[in-house]
Amino acid sequence: MTEPHRLAARPRHTIARRGGDVTAVHRLRWLLVIYLLIAAVVVAQLVRVQVVDAPGYADLSASQRARVIELAGERGRIYDRDGDVLATTVQAATIYADPRAFRPRETPDGLIVPPAADAATVAAQLAPVLARDAADIAAALTGDGHFAYLARQLDHEVGVAVRELELDGIGVIAEPKRVYPASGLAGQVVGFTGIDGEGLQGLEARYEDLLLGRPGMLTLERAPGGLDIASGTRELIPSEPGTDLVLTLDREVQHAAERAAVAVTEEHGAAGASVLVLEVGTGDVLAMASAPTFDPNRRGDTDPATWRNRAVTDVFEPGSVQKAFTIAAAIEEGLTHEDAVLRVPSSITVADKTFTDATPQPTSDWSLTEIMERSSNVGTIAVAQQLGEDRLDAYLRSFGQGSSTGTGFPGESAGLLSPVDQWWGTSLPTIAIGQGVATSLLQLANGYATLANDGVAVAPRIVRGTVGEDGRLTPAADPTERRVVSDETAQQVQRMLERVVSGDDGTGHRAAVDGYRAAGKTGTARKPSPDSRGYSGEYIATFVGFAPAEDPQLVVAVMVDDPGPVYYGGLVAAPVFSEVMGTALASRRVLPDSAGTSLEEAMAAARAARQAAEVQAAGRAADPADD
């Protein structure tokens, strides 16, 4: 049989088997392709997860475990001029919770894990330690989020007590707390910070960038239940302290000024009072007191109105205190001099208004010194008419009225002195005697410091310098100086102002200071009506002066807001000047004048005056009739 016939004779099942083998091979090939595709996808996913997207997943994992706590930098201290601390920072205990520890959680395989701690039990344990209601604490523990404050800036001992409880989900961190060791001393000047350490008031706000340190950072790792991971990352970036601030304030003088401000407010039932002490020639503010006072450590218990520094934020009509500037301008312009005699009528009419003296006088021939001594409105207006509007305005602005003093204190007022082209027919006479113009106490004090400094104005300052990490004082820039009037003019005004205190007809007898010759001017002005044009029935009593008269060292300015029933500056404000000036001169160890009193005697007199004031204040507090 030929070969083709043999092939044709092969059984059919052999051919079928070969066909089945081919089909099986195809199937295996497809399975292999599918397997390779799946493997490629898995490998690609592994590469993506472990290589390409690895940083992202690592960050996600870290964010789920990590807790970052910002650590505030220690705020710089504030000192008085002699290094006594007025504001500092201590480490306090802050108690916090991780609410995740107090709620159930679901595991990846769907199991529900109970909370790590019971909120009600933990709250009951914490309540007596934190002096908080247990229900309030429990509400914080079961809230949303990963972090909740339970109490902030507590005493260190409280933090120790909480740690000893070893409660799951509860932590204690040290947090800076601002404290004021001198309590309410210079509270309106120093100001205060918020609970997060930011300056909110006074110099704390003004020098926020300087005092504020650089914050640090604490990074912790925690499990989903809120428990710390013992082997986890714990990274600390330390904070850096802020710069210390040294003020020009003298603690003893500041205390005397505050005591006097509070006493005069209580004695005369006044709405408030301010006392300011300036050092002649340097512009240093030795005291800046306002009453009512407040303690920045417990400011939550006080009226926010007591927080403001009245000496720079409040403005008022200066009244007769203004006359020294008007007369100085006329002397400087060569229009008159201290011994020049003027015919002073009983009244003077300007535009449609007639002006008289507080105590009506017949037409008299008075020297310029007598006009100042008697505080004559008519005589001063007559001098101002010789001066004219433009020159009066220019000199008042040169003495600092109508513009800020430049201290940069928050809320400092520039006062109110209208441009000449807005003056009324009666503006010249009223402004010349301190009406229709508004100034702050600091502006008045600085103007009198210019006269006391022989006509040279020195910008006032509150900051003496700064102290950095090296512990050395970096002095503040020297204050700017400019001449306003000649030394001859200033000295004439100095002698006239001394007569206000020592002259037989002076209005400032009660401003006399034991052991020293003093000079100054009384002022009494009605307060403008808040509801309508014109004046109210309330008054501002002022006295501004300097001592020793022969070589002025200090200026003391006093303002009493709405005293009653007595409201004259010579009766209300002048005695405050005497008390504060006596203490300040003795504290600064300024030698008494040539009248024969020793420094020790002057210091004893100041102490006696201070003790008498304290006894008087205690008597008022004990007398129910004064309530």
CB count in 10 Å sphere of residue 552: 24
- Residue 115 has a pLDDT of 85
8 A C-beta contact, residue 401 and residue 447:
yes
8 A C-beta contact, residue 78 and residue 247:
yes
Which is more confidently placed, 625 or 256? 256
Percent of the chain with pLDDT over 90: 67
8 A C-beta contact, residue 341 and residue 367:
yes
- Residue 623 has a pLDDT of 35
What sign results for the dihedral spanned by CA atoms 205, 210, 213, 214? positive
CA distance 76 to 537: 46
Strand partners, 68: 219
* Whole-number average pLDDT of the chain: 88
* Beta carbons within 8 Å of 505's beta carbon, 6+ residues apart: 370, 373, 374
8 A C-beta contact, residue 579 and residue 609:
yes
Average pLDDT over residues 110-135: 90
Tokens linked to 524: 């009494």
- Residue 622 has a pLDDT of 37
Confidence band for 619, pLDDT divided at 50, 70 and 90: very low
Which range, of 145-149, 255-259, 464-468, averages the lowest pLDDT? 145-149
Cis, peptide link before residue 565, omega less than 30° from 0: yes
User: Tens of pLDDT along 286-325?
Assistant: 999 999 999 999 988 889 999 999 999 999 999 999 999 9
Q: How far is CA 591 from CA 150, 233, 252, 582, in A?
A: 58, 66, 18, 11
CA angle 166, 170, 173 (to 5 degrees): 100
Which range, of 20-29, 317-326, 436-445, 617-626, averages the lowest pLDDT? 617-626
pTM attached to this predicted model = 0.80
- Report whether pLDDT(206) > 90: yes
Please name the residue that has the structure tokens 């959680």. 105
CA distance 440 to 442: 5
- Residue 61 has a pLDDT of 62
User: Tens of pLDDT along 402-450?
Assistant: 999 999 999 999 999 999 999 999 999 999 999 999 999 999 999 999 9
Which is more confidently placed, 459 or 65? 459
User: Residue 226: exposed, middle, or buried by beta-carbon count in 10 A (0-12, 13-18, 19+)?
Assistant: buried
One-letter amino acid at 312 equals V
320 catalytic per annotation: yes
- Residue 577 has a pLDDT of 98
Helix (H) or strand (E) holding 218, with range, is strand 216-221
Helix (H) or strand (E) holding 429, with range, is helix 427-432
Average pLDDT over residues 375-400: 98
CB count in 10 Å sphere of residue 559: 33
CA distance 581 to 555: 8
| Secondary structure (3-state) at 155 | coil
Confidence band for 14, pLDDT divided at 50, 70 and 90: low
CA distance 303 to 326: 39
Tokens linked to 532: 């309508």
Please name the residue that has the structure tokens 């601030």. 245
8 A C-beta contact, residue 354 and residue 348:
yes
User: Tens of pLDDT along 542-599?
Assistant: 999 999 999 999 999 999 999 999 999 999 999 999 999 999 999 999 999 755 555 5
User: Residue 379: exposed, middle, or buried by beta-carbon count in 10 A (0-12, 13-18, 19+)?
Assistant: buried
- Residue 252 has a pLDDT of 96
Q: How far is CA 133 from CA 69, 123, 150, 162, 308, in A?
A: 26, 8, 11, 16, 35
Tokens linked to 577: 């000047």
- Report whether pLDDT(609) > 80: no
Q: How far is CA 294 from the centre of its chain?
A: 13
Cis, peptide link before residue 99, omega less than 30° from 0: no
Helix axes 487-502, 441-452, angle to 10 degrees: 110
- Residue 449 has a pLDDT of 98
- Residue 610 has a pLDDT of 53
Please name the residue that has the structure tokens 């475990």. 65
- Residue 320 has a pLDDT of 97
Catalytic residue chosen out of the listed positions 320, 376, 398, 578: 320
User: Tens of pLDDT along 500-558?
Assistant: 999 999 999 999 999 999 999 999 999 998 888 889 999 999 999 999 999 999 999 99
- Residue 113 has a pLDDT of 80
CA distance 509 to 575: 9
CA distance 292 to 417: 28
CA distance 494 to 499: 9
CA distance 105 to 187: 51
Tokens linked to 427: 């503006």
CB count in 10 Å sphere of residue 592: 23
Q: How far is CA 73 from the centre of its chain?
A: 19
Percent of the chain with pLDDT over 70: 86
Work out the widest C-alpha separation in the chain, in whole angstroms: 172
Q: How far is CA 501 from CA 180, 281, 565, 568, in A?
A: 39, 23, 23, 15
Q: How far is CA 586 from CA 2, 553, 594, 601, in A?
A: 148, 12, 15, 9
Average pLDDT over residues 600-614: 59
CA distance 69 to 2: 98
For residues 403, 405, 406, 412, the Cα torsion angle rounded to the nearest 10 degrees is -80
- Residue 280 has a pLDDT of 98
Residue 393 exposure: Cα atoms within 13 Å on the Cβ side: 14
